[in-house]
Amino acid sequence: MYKVLVIEDDVMMSNMLSMYLSEEGYQVEQADCGEEGLHKAADFVPDLILLDLILPDLDGMEVCKQIRETSNVPIMILSMKSEVSERVQALKAGADDYLCKPFSMHELTARVEALIRRSHTVQAEMNEKKEVTSSIGPSELIQLDANRRLLIVRGQRVETTFSEYELIKLLMAHPGKVFSREELINAIRGFDSFVTDRAIDVHIVNLRKKIELNPKEPRLIKTVWGFGYKYVAEPAM
């Protein structure tokens, strides 16, 4: 049974989500504030988190960032805010999906199922392959730890979002190949959600911050102007 954590201060909304997801076969825990949500995220170890942006104590974006520091669990933002800028901020904070209120419960459960399925399918594939590694020269500066879904950068473990991990895995598996933004969107879209060209650019910026010696002058993830991006498997001298 998959586990879902609902971090939502609106009691009626939280109870409705809990009831509906429970009827769909999920084990659900509820938290009505950011601090409680952070504690339950650590103790309950959910397969997915539904997170409201407006909470009584902590800002939802901050909760998302703190969860992302220690976990790559899929996070879906639930919010009344529909502006593109809010969605971009959510991506930067580490969210994997964004659903505007009011929403259909059928759409919610479809997205929940898609995110969890995608996460566990990838994990299963990686466990079969054990470890997928891309080397940069003899020192192996950049690696992917498949079992823990971690990015290893110059010997240091680096946390990534689910989408960031999928992108870097794809790029590293095909060094030198130029991927269009559309191809990258299709690679991380489990269900038709808010993944856009802009979202891909944000993910690439975040990945460069994590793997490049100088993100402003990237040597590993190269921009192919007017088309997309490619990974260069060469030492970052």
* Distance from C-alpha of 205 to C-alpha of 223, rounded to nearest angstrom: 11
* Distance from C-alpha of 27 to C-alpha of 154, rounded to nearest angstrom: 39
pLDDT of residue 190: 57
The answer to whether 233 touches 175, Cβ cutoff 8 Å, is: yes
pLDDT of residue 193: 53
Measuring CA to CA, which residue among 17, 16, 56 is closest to residue 37?
56
* Distance from C-alpha of 230 to C-alpha of 225, rounded to nearest angstrom: 11
Sign of CA dihedral 3, 25, 129, 231: negative
The stretches in the chain having pLDDT less than 70 are 122-140, 189-195, 234-237
pLDDT of residue 91: 87
Please report, for residues 45, 51, 126, 145, 157, the alpha-carbon distance to residue 76 in angstroms, rounded to integers and kept in the order given: 15, 6, 23, 24, 24
- CB contact set of 24 (below 8 Å; sequence gap of 6+): 109
